[in-house]
A and B are shown apart, each in its own frame.
Chain A
Amino acid sequence: MVPSRRSIADPLISLAMVIGVALVAGLIWQLVIDRFDLPKALLPTPRQCWAAVMSHRGTLLRGILGTGLAAVSGLVAAVILGSCLAILFSQSKKLRLALFPYVLLLQTVPIVAIAPLLIIWSGYRFRTVIIVTVIVCFFPIVNSVTAGLLSASREASDLFRLYGANRWQRLWRLQIPSAIPHLMVGVRTSSGLAVIGAIVAEFFIGDATSFPGLGTLMMGWQALIKTDALIAAVFASALLGLVIYGVIQLLTGFLLKRWTST
């Protein structure tokens, strides 16, 4: 099938608009510095930030890879653990009523309050970053997958009862397929949180020599008042979040082909 002219033009127009907004924001940024004569330590110019990106590109790349690996590992672990717990919740209302408040607790207690405890228990290690990421991502996954598993209509449930489907058949042929679109919504929501969780955990680890993540780099550059490098790291973390989100969008499109293709 030949793609229509519009289907090619739309993403290009969208990209051009995004770049346009970035250019306007950069211009305003530069004008503010010129107007108020701000020192570099307080707010460097876009050009100085770009120079910092180029001079620290190797370090930043390692930071992106380190944080990215932690975020993706934590997200995958949260998907596996969260989906398993959601399946248990879907099979037992009592279990759901007993345990769901504790899952909610993970969402409501600030991660900055838990992170120091986890470092005491797990140490200044990569696995601690993953544990923090799992905790941050866990609730959206459990919540959306549980909702998906319980979303089958009464008629569909009756259909399975009519043919004497056992619990396993019902789970495998009705509930899990019903939950896949919900799972992908949960994964999309968690993808942004995963990067935040990983960086927050790295803040507490603090030592870039033991773990070269974006969070540890930020802590180091903050101590040295390297504002330009700090801003470069902020943009790197935003870029990392966007890349993970984009990959998940592509994966969603592939996985949900059966649900969405027309």
Chain B
Amino acid sequence: MPPRWLIATVRKTIALQPPPGIASTADFFPFRLGEALSVDIEQRASSIDCRSLSVAFAGGIRAVDDVHLTVGAGKILSLIGPSGCGKTTLLRCMAGLQDATEGEVILDPPVPAHHGNISLVFQQPTLLPWRTALENVLLPLQLTQCLKKEQRARAESLLETVGLANAMNRFPRQLSGGMKMRVSIARALATRPQVLLLDEPFAALDDMLRSQLGELLLELWHAERFTAVMVTHNIAESILLTHQVAVMQHGQLAKVLDNPLPWPRDPELRTTPQFGQFYGRVTQHLKGDA
């Protein structure tokens, strides 16, 4: 455990804005140093604990049925399963957008809901068409009443990080599908959330773009170290981007698999036997053969 004075210094450093000429806090505060002090940085993130979580809809349909799931602080977990198996409902419960019929979602350390501590990236970019890219990123800060000058700088910095430095003042209709999703991700990170939830964020994009945005997500995770839960249908994506893969079937959690692939993740990992073996295991659980 690093000494307290060092932790305090690092905290102050993280809170600082990058000096002129440096694009983002990620450049200013190199990733390697962040990894070395990950004990402190991960304290920003919350772990998610779903206890006996069930959601029943009218007509007695149980979209989520007695789910017990724990996502470690600063870890990434993917939820994978066939359509209609309850992935999105579970994610909405974690976001506080869906009330559970039974059970509860506990964040540790606890954070107040609806204050930007939990962010969600939707399947569609869901940008407001009358707002520019920058104004869309600023929206969560305006809603949570914490828009200050330095936060505007953070929004600009996030847009630079996602590669949209030259498109900040463009309206959503002037952006491509991939650019819109980048804005959506930047918006989700504007409030420095402890938990980032992603609901099939790359489903509508082509493979190349999907791969690029996956890499971008990992870069952002390295810099911000949030806890992330990502719903996806794509097995390769669920393996490459995460620490754990949770397989869902008929509203229930069929299996949570620890991802054996080493970090840092590289697209080249797809060609390794380890990747192939894990891919096979996930597929088996998806088919229910395991």
In the complex the two chains form, what is the Cα distance from A258 to B118 in whole Å?
30
* B114 in contact with A163 (CB, 8 Å): yes
* A159 in contact with B126 (CB, 8 Å): yes
Of the stretches B2-10, B135-143, B229-237, the one at the interface is B135-143
Answer whether residue A65 sits at the interface, using C-beta atoms and an 8 A cutoff. no
Residues in B neighbouring A258, C-beta threshold 8 A:
129-131, 171
In the complex the two chains form, what is the Cα distance from A258 to B140 in whole Å?
20
Interface residues of B in 176-202 (CB under 8 A from A): 191
Task: Select from chain B the residue with minimum beta-carbon distance to A170.
Answer: B143
User: A138 → chain B, closest Cβ, in Å?
Assistant: 26
In the complex the two chains form, what is the Cα distance from A115 to B275 in whole Å?
79
* B128 in contact with A177 (CB, 8 Å): yes
Q: What is the total of A-B residue contacts with beta carbons within 8 Å?
A: 58
* A164 in contact with B126 (CB, 8 Å): no
Interface residues of B in 135-155 (CB under 8 A from A): 139-140, 142-144
* B96 in contact with A162 (CB, 8 Å): yes
Answer whether residue B279 sits at the interface, using C-beta atoms and an 8 A cutoff. no
Task: Select from chain A the residue with minimum beta-carbon distance to B142.
Answer: A173
* B143 in contact with A165 (CB, 8 Å): yes
In the complex the two chains form, what is the Cα distance from A193 to B68 in whole Å?
62
Answer whether residue B120 sits at the interface, using C-beta atoms and an 8 A cutoff. yes
Of the stretches A9-17, A122-130, A150-158, A246-254, the one at the interface is A150-158
Task: Select from chain A the residue with minimum beta-carbon distance to B141.
Answer: A163
Answer whether residue A262 sits at the interface, using C-beta atoms and an 8 A cutoff. yes
Known: A158-B97, A177-B128, A258-B171. A163 touches B122 (CB 8 A): no
Answer whether residue B119 sits at the interface, using C-beta atoms and an 8 A cutoff. yes
Partner of A161, one of B97, B129, B191: B97
User: B169 → chain A, closest Cβ, in Å?
Assistant: 12
Contact with B along A235-262 (1 / 0, CB 8 A): 0000000000000000000000011011
Interface residues of B in 103-144 (CB under 8 A from A): 113-116, 118-120, 122, 124, 126, 128-131, 139-140, 142-144
* A155 in contact with B130 (CB, 8 Å): no
* A158 in contact with B122 (CB, 8 Å): yes
Answer whether residue B173 sits at the interface, using C-beta atoms and an 8 A cutoff. yes
Partner of A155, one of B126, B139, B140: B126
* A262 in contact with B174 (CB, 8 Å): yes
- From B92, B96, B122, B124, residue with most partner A Cβ within 10 Å: B122
In the complex the two chains form, what is the Cα distance from A162 to B124 in whole Å?
16
In the complex the two chains form, what is the Cα distance from A159 to B139 in whole Å?
10
User: B183 → chain A, closest Cβ, in Å?
Assistant: 13
* B144 in contact with A163 (CB, 8 Å): yes
In the complex the two chains form, what is the Cα distance from A31 to B96 in whole Å?
76
Residues in A neighbouring B122, C-beta threshold 8 A:
155, 158-159
In the complex the two chains form, what is the Cα distance from A246 to B124 in whole Å?
37
Known: A163-B114, A262-B174. A158 touches B143 (CB 8 A): no
In the complex the two chains form, what is the Cα distance from A11 to B277 in whole Å?
66
User: B95 → chain A, closest Cβ, in Å?
Assistant: 6
In the complex the two chains form, what is the Cα distance from A174 to B114 in whole Å?
17
Residues in A neighbouring B140, C-beta threshold 8 A:
163
In the complex the two chains form, what is the Cα distance from A121 to B262 in whole Å?
84
Contact with A along B65-91 (1 / 0, CB 8 A): 000000000000000000000000000
Known: A258-B130, A259-B130. 18 other contacts (CB 8 A): A153-B126, A155-B126, A156-B126, A158-B95, A158-B122, A160-B143, A161-B97, A162-B95, A162-B118, A163-B114, A163-B140, A164-B114, A164-B115, A164-B143, A164-B144, A169-B142, A261-B171, A262-B173
Can you list the 8 inter-chain pairs with the closest CB atoms, starting with the nearest?
A164-B114, A163-B143, A155-B126, A258-B130, A165-B143, A155-B122, A177-B130, A163-B140
A and B contact pairs by CB, cutoff 8 A, 8 listed: A155-B126, A158-B95, A158-B122, A173-B143, A177-B128, A258-B130, A258-B131, A262-B174
The interface of chain B, by Cβ under 8 A from chain A, is: 92, 95-97, 113-116, 118-120, 122, 124, 126, 128-131, 139-140, 142-144, 171, 173-174, 191
